[in-house]
A and B are shown apart, each in its own frame.
Chain A
């Protein structure tokens, strides 16, 4: 068996593609798909497809890729009871998260956060088009898991796609029992499973002595104030793992286990 690996930066994160006995050129092609998704889904570039949707009021033609991700955003909102909310862009801007943190610190803010309305009231999606009724979308909370699931299907029968820690392991892996994946201090064997981690200690900054971070709680419109710093989840897909990790983190240590039971295959609360 021949293991191939490709690492690169995209989606504001480190990305990793692994595969066994892949078709020639497959790694390069899938890496190109990640770069394309980054250009399409980033909210930081005014010419991206997502930025055009955010700027428009009224129906906008959308690519099948963006349409799929917007539908996934609505599904994430439904699955999490509204906790995973792509319509928190105004809240992110209000706390100063206006540019990638790699390009400099957040801008100062004095805005008072406000909870967004439920996502289905903000976002409508039809075949080939979508419209926003106010607000704006940030798809960073779900795009990596959603994309990892799709790209694993494209990459090969025995592969692993890890986009910034949100990953899908497909097939039997190098040893035949699954791909060994580091998870909460242990190594798990994952086969046809997704895993993701949500936390508040990365993409965090201080604003006048107040600690801020990128994970917005849609119930308050402000950065989440959870007694959990990090949650990792294994689920049937990377998308589900990402949704449930985020929702569990927002729910906190007392409610997270009950939420995750029946939804997740494994979890780590830290």
Chain B
């Protein structure tokens, strides 16, 4: 009887932790301003932070490189 109670308690605790964790993660995914939200560094999936505080969006057919730029686009 005692071991059955212990198993039930362990199962309930595990389920509770899983549910709470899922709720926590889901809430933070939906909140871009949530603390510790990781920056997204990928092409075509959403805005990512760029050098001067703006947001950059790339479609899959545009690639970045580590090469030094030959020239740049800028406001004139």
- Residues on A lying within 8 angstroms of B by beta carbon are 12-14, 16, 18, 144, 160, 162, 164-167, 173-175, 177-190, 193, 195-199, 201-202, 230, 232, 234, 241, 257, 260, 264-270
Contact = CB atoms under 8 A, between A and B. Distances in A.
B14 interface: no
Interface in B40-76: 47, 50-59, 61-76
Given A13-B76, A202-B76, A266-B58, A187 B71 contact: no
Q: Ordered nearest first, which 4 A-B pairs have the shortest CB separation?
A: A185-B51, A270-B54, A182-B72, A164-B76
A12 B75 CA distance: 12
Interface residues of B, number: 27
Contacts of A199: 75
A184 B67 contact: no
Contacts of A174: 70
Interface of B is mostly: loop
Interface in B11-65: 47, 50-59, 61-65
B73 A266 contact: no
Nearest to B44: A266
A268 B50 contact: yes
Nearest to B64: A186
A202 B76 CA distance: 6
A201 B75 contact: yes
B68 A187 contact: yes
Contacts of A162: 71, 73
Nearest to B75: A199
A183 B73 contact: yes
B70 A18 contact: yes
A160 B52 CA distance: 25
Contacts of A177: 63, 65
Contacts of A178: 63
B43 to A, nearest CB: 9
A189 B56 CA distance: 15
A180 B58 CA distance: 15
A187 B66 contact: yes
Contacts of B56: 184-186, 266-268
Nearest to B49: A185
Nearest to B67: A180
6 contacts: A166-B76, A184-B56, A187-B67, A189-B63, A190-B62, A232-B73
Contacts of A186: 50-51, 56, 64
A187 B59 contact: no
A160 B73 CA distance: 12
Contacts of B52: 184-185, 270
